[in-house]
Structure 1
Amino acid sequence: MSLSQEIAPLLPYLRRYARALSGSQNSGDAYVRACLQALVADQSIIDTSGGTKIGLYRLFHVLWNATVVPPVTNDGTASMFEQTAQQRLATMAPESRQTLLLSTMEGFSIPETARIIDKTEDEVTQLIQDAINEIDRQTKTEVLIIEDEPLISMDLMQIVESLGHGVTSVARTASDAIAAAKSETPGLVLADIQLADGSSGIDAVKEILAEMSVPVIFITSFPERLLTGERPEPTFLITKPFNPNTVKAGISQALFFKGTDAVAA
């Protein structure tokens, strides 16, 4: 199998990582393109001795720190989350955020994460704790959960509340979700895409976002339905079955980019 064939199925997940890291689909995709362009120019720059996936993320990490990607022109449509991203980034060590996302959202082990960012395992553990401590200082909010499976929704409620956030409602259908959001504006939405009555969490989120600005995390068994390479794609996406720490990291990261004026007290 050629290197390009090995890398192709990894790209949707690298885009997910880049978007979560930058807080923007446009910026994240720009960094991934820069990584691929460098790789096309010289395939010897990737070290696959630890596996192609680790090698790809390691290469991306190096280029993330070294490459200046031209910023996307703001045409006035950027969300408030993207507008506040740089302010939030300036207050937190980049390596802490990178390490947190690699070890939770992307599912790398501590040794694998250490290899990717060229740190010791002890350093990785400390960076993760630093990231959690920093993000925990963000303002708490109220969360709308769109999920039709009772056990999963209970797990999500426990995770949300363990972080100090509240739950406005648990909706099992698209219509219930839309009504709940209109009744009490959430500060964050956790959404499945396939709901109890056959309705779509994606459609519910689209209608909610037409009425208000709120970060959304999709939690689904069908990530390929969202990671299509077409626009729009979600900045925050978690695959079922999920690790609770992955959900915690996703919530913290989504709120990290959230405008402070939209966070519920």
Structure 2
Amino acid sequence: MASLKALKLRIGSVKSTQKITKAMKMVAAAKLRRAQANAEAGRPYSQRMAEVVASLASKVTPGPDSPKLLAGTGKDDTHLIVVASGDRGLAGAFNTNITRAAKRKADELEAQGKTVLFYFVGKKGRPLFQRLYPKAIVGQFDTSAIKNPAYADAQAAAKDIVDRFESGQFDVAHLVYSTFKSVLLQEPTTDQIIPVKVDRADAKAGAASAAVEYEPDEDEILKALLPKNIAIQIYRAMLENQAGFYGSQMTAMDNATRNAGDMINRLSIQYNRQRQAAITTELVEIISGAEAL
């Protein structure tokens, strides 16, 4: 059984930890408001960009002169999984959920006989794959010094990925990140970003609704838009991840604060019981000594 002094020190230690977790919760809550606003503001633009690119792509028959980001390499043997995660922990299962989604996608592709490679945006997604697929990691974009993601950061990551695609390192790229739903819910999402996915059935259904003439032609427009679309989708993933991270951290620190409070209560009860028992023992010894005299 722990001594009274040890219990008192333990209570003081837990109280100090509780102050830290409470402060971290408040900081995460303050940062969450801005991060959530940025993520929500970026969604319409990224969604509309994806729709415009898909619409243009549906009007183009892939051929030798088509942009490679649209036509692809002509095969799908090697797949790159871009894992966008956070750079810090203490956020519950936020980073773990992203890596699990990426691992599921990797297992699915390997079951189909595909070769899987990994590229990381953020460092917390790397350790699992460093252990399981040490030879399959082809690159990482360091975001540890980035406090608030900017489009220029996403452009740099997108350029690195596109350059690897142009050099023939992979045939298809998938982006895995966490979509922010609420403080309590962040949903891991997997999107194919290279080559652009086109639903030909939807394109035929929409062909009769509008006749649009492009100047210059669709191929030229797509050559300019496709790299930007990849950068925008990565930028959206970075914004969604930032909001999801702060939401998860706020929830985790709130739970930690409440758990610390429960522990303090239990330790205080134990401390008071032992203190009362010690006082009772001393009284019994004093009374017994007085009677002996």
User: What is the TM-score with the length of structure 2 in the denominator?
Assistant: 0.22
Larger helix fraction of residues: 2
> Over alpha carbons, which structure has the higher Rg?
2
